[in-house]
Chain A
Amino acid sequence: MASVTMTVNGKSVTATIDPRMLLSSFLREHLRLTGTHVGCDTSQCGACVVHVDGRAIKSCTALAISLDGAQVTTIEGLAADGHLHPMQEAFREHHGLQCGFCTPGMIMSAVDIVNRKGAMLDEHTIREELEGNICRCTGYHNIVKAVAAGAQAMAATKVAAE
């Protein structure tokens, strides 16, 4: 067993864990943050995507112990001050989800895409960038629309804040 401390959704947490515990298990089982899902165990499907120090990673492929001192944001931490994140709103508005299981990872990846690529995303870019997230329900059609709209809404929110 080993001790790890990290900041998850703005709160500092310390726990004694099995060194082989994955970040996804740490979030789900220790912190009961069950919005992060595990869909494939091989880093393919992206249902487990969270942000670590501002970058999207697949939490099923990171050892929790390796993230001592990290800042982690999960889907539960995305909405600020009781307001949905623009990307969350866009997924609802554009019917970018059906069963909802891949959705947290999709949204966390989508926010990361905008952070890396900016707000003006064409369809081709969005489809290529979503390569690491699998959805079995939507055929991606509405997810692509949601990401494009969410990207623009993120930019507008940023402008409004400035």
Chain B
Amino acid sequence: MSATGIGAPVRRTEDFRFITGKGQYTDDINRAGQAHAYFLRSPHAHAEIVKIDASKAKAMDGVIAILTGDDLAADKIGGLICGWMIHNKDGSPMRAGGHPALAQGKVRYVGDHVAVIIAETYQQAKDAAEAIDVTYKTLSAVADIDSALKKGAPVVHDVAPDNTVFNWHLGDKAATDAAFAKAKQITKLDLINNRLVPNPMEPRAAVGDYDAGTGVFTLHTTSQNPHVARLVLSAFIGIAPEHKLRVIAPDVGGGFGSKIFIYAEETVCVWASKKVGRPVKWTSDRTEAFLSDAHGRDHVTHAEMALDDKGRILGLRVNTKANLGAYLSTFSSSVPTYLYAPLLSGQYNIPAIYCEVDAVYTNTAPVDAYRGAGRPEATFVIERLVEVAARERGEDPALFRRKNFVTQFPHQTPVIMAYDVGNYSASLDKAMDMADVKNFGKRKKDSERNGKLRGLGYSAYIEACGIAPSQAVGSLGAGVGLWESAEVRVNPVGTVEVLTGSHSHGQGHETTFAQLVSDRLGIPLDQVAIVHGDTDKVQFGMGTYGSRSGAVGMSAIAQALDKVIAKGKKVAAYALEAAEGDIDFKDGRFSVKGTDKSLAFGEVALQAYIAHKFSGQQLEPGLKETAFYDPTNFTFPAGVHICEVEIDPDTGVTRIDRWTAVDDFGVVINPMIVEGQVHGGIAQGVGQALLEGAHYNKDGQLVTASYMDYTMPRADDLPSFAVGMTSTPCPSNPLGIKGCGEAGAIAAPPAVINAITDALGHENISMPATPQRVWQAAQQSQRKLAAE
């Protein structure tokens, strides 16, 4: 391993601009002559718009234009789309209600977009918004799953009179029923996967700019996938043909899924820039982000596990109701279906699984992918069930897991996935060792002496990453292929630019991708530039989510690098007057086998461009290669996290005393960055388990709409983490990478809740396990103890 190659903890090249305040985020970008947009949002969860009177507002200082849904319709601008078709059990398509970027006749959640005010300054636009007189006819709202499914409930979309988007299922019902019929033990759980707000620290923003001279629109936006944004804005929403629309996602301050989607605000800004003949800029404030960023999770689940007399799992039956909010966001329908149920087998050998999912419209913000997307929900179901099943049997939960682990690979689960490789016991062993599980009993006694409750919780998670084989996802309803592209441009002096369709918003691609190039081409890191996030530079790409940038994005780069080396050998053969088959490439030099004749990579690059040693008939000049990499399977990162908590029963405060994570991500390019991803994921998972919860009241008002009401994990809520690794390289991609971005957020919630319930001695606690809830649960523990 070289100091900068694969496996080296290289310090990040992108950091200099961030630590000196020179990052260029969307809100840092200002276009000459720009105007500012402010969105007037619905204060009601559900209402008909009777009339919008903007006459007073239009006359106010600085106001340039006030536009509504009628203006969008007049310009034939299409609605926002959902790009994944799910079919009902009976084969009929899901029921997708219209989703105009500005409301047309009706608003469906608090924060829905009623009008946009464009003014000289942001403050003027905001002032004018207050002067717009909207007459609403308010309607009763449905703010949660249960109220939406009640007979006679208010209807969110006419296309779905029972508020059901789809009722979907996966697995073999008959085989599962048969497994339950012969079971000796059935473990049952009711689970709520709490609703979360993703909350990247950079709020969403957009700057639309129409150039009347060329007819080209430019959109700077906070996006995880600018190419998909361009495709959707062009082909579906109809802003402009693709070659007349440039989308740039510059530095992006975190995404966690919420910046995958194509939202109303960027659509309106880019459209309005032509309408008003000025660049139009919008930046969300934090409360707008709470109201209108796509939320995550929000499942209600009943799950049952069937076991034989030896404690072997025979079957799993899951019924989930998923809240998708008021409109179907871009990939919302895939999250509680194909990103969820196929992971219910966990790390276990389960012969029969049947999962039913009802997706529901409510008068709340749209719900879509948030870090992990479906996989944390699945992991919460299986890891809580396994834990409780072991406890019911009086078995050690680690041994119980080990007994049911998949040990033979490849392993076909009953729910689509074919696990390619893994070693689940190795992660469990290492995690138990690092967590000093053998002395847990002693620590528990020490806590008890101090009047505290101590608990230990496992989470043996698996995820499907490296999303995804295009043909496979196409057959499951995806509207796009999920390959990735790369272009490697070698300059005449041998420096290299890599253009990638992946997008970095914290993941450190400028470093890790350059490490791969340095490793393969034998050139220093500082001679490599990674270019991403601009549709005028990169031809096309699918972006970053689903832990796909390493497994898919870097695999595309590896393929393009192979082509560069192959072409380089041809050029070197002419330059060194040798046969192509006699050229070796190693450590940055092309050499003739068995001789001391060689040329450095940069010298061959120059030869490729000056083309003096070969005619253009024999070989095309230049050194630039492109690859589109389409994976052949998902990747399956897996691992074991162990959480140890100490609870003060008098205050209900849960303190995480130690956290151990052992993950198998296959080949790791940069362990420093990978560990950082694990830390961040755990923090978000702990946030879900202990602190975070988006709460709407029964009228559909979001009660938790700022950092004063929604508890974000802070430094003093978390411990330092012990992170270890095991490795079984992924066999389905050229680099052996599995992906690491979501693991922590997937693993953490059940680890925390299993630890808390272990401490409490009963299962009656739901997320977030706030001090109030834990205090109440601890009272119940004491009553239980007293009764015994």
A residues with a Cβ closer than 8 A to B are 18, 20, 28, 32-42, 44-45, 47, 74-76, 78-79, 84, 88, 91-93, 95, 97-104, 107, 123, 126-128, 130-131, 133-144
Contacts and interface: CB of A to CB of B under 8 A. Distances in A.
Contacts of B672: 95
Contacts of B200: 99, 101, 136
B251 A100 contact: yes
B520 interface: no
Interface residues of B, number: 56
Contacts of B30: 32
Interface centre among B202, B682, B721, B744 (most CB of A within 10 A): B202
Given A101-B202, A102-B201, A136 B21 contact: no
Given A40-B706, A107-B19, A99 B254 contact: yes
Interface of B: 11-12, 14-25, 27-28, 30, 123, 199-203, 251-254, 256, 285-287, 505-508, 672-673, 676, 679-684, 706-708, 712-716, 718, 720-721, 744
Mostly, the A contact residues are loop
Contact of B202 (A20, A37, A78, A131): A37
A141 B672 CA distance: 12
A37 to B, nearest CB: 7
Interface centre among A18, A28, A33, A40 (most CB of B within 10 A): A40
Contact of B715 (A40, A76, A95, A143): A143
A97 B718 contact: no
5 contacts: A41-B287, A131-B715, A136-B199, A136-B256, A138-B683
Contact of A92 (B15, B201, B683): B15
A18 B123 contact: yes
Contacts of B16: 92
Contacts of A40: 286, 706-707
A156 to B, nearest CB: 19
A135 B30 CA distance: 26
Contacts of B720: 123, 141, 144
A130 B22 CA distance: 23
Given A136-B200, A141-B720, A144-B720, A130 B714 contact: yes
A91 B20 contact: no
A99 B201 contact: yes
A38 B707 CA distance: 13
A41 B122 CA distance: 15
Contact of B21 (A20, A74, A131): A74
A32 to B, nearest CB: 8
Nearest to B20: A79
Contacts of B25: 34, 37, 101
B202 A99 contact: yes
Contacts of A42: 286, 706-708
Given A92-B19, A98-B680, A140 B708 contact: no
A78 B21 CA distance: 10
A141 B251 contact: no
Nearest to B199: A136
Nearest to A88: B19
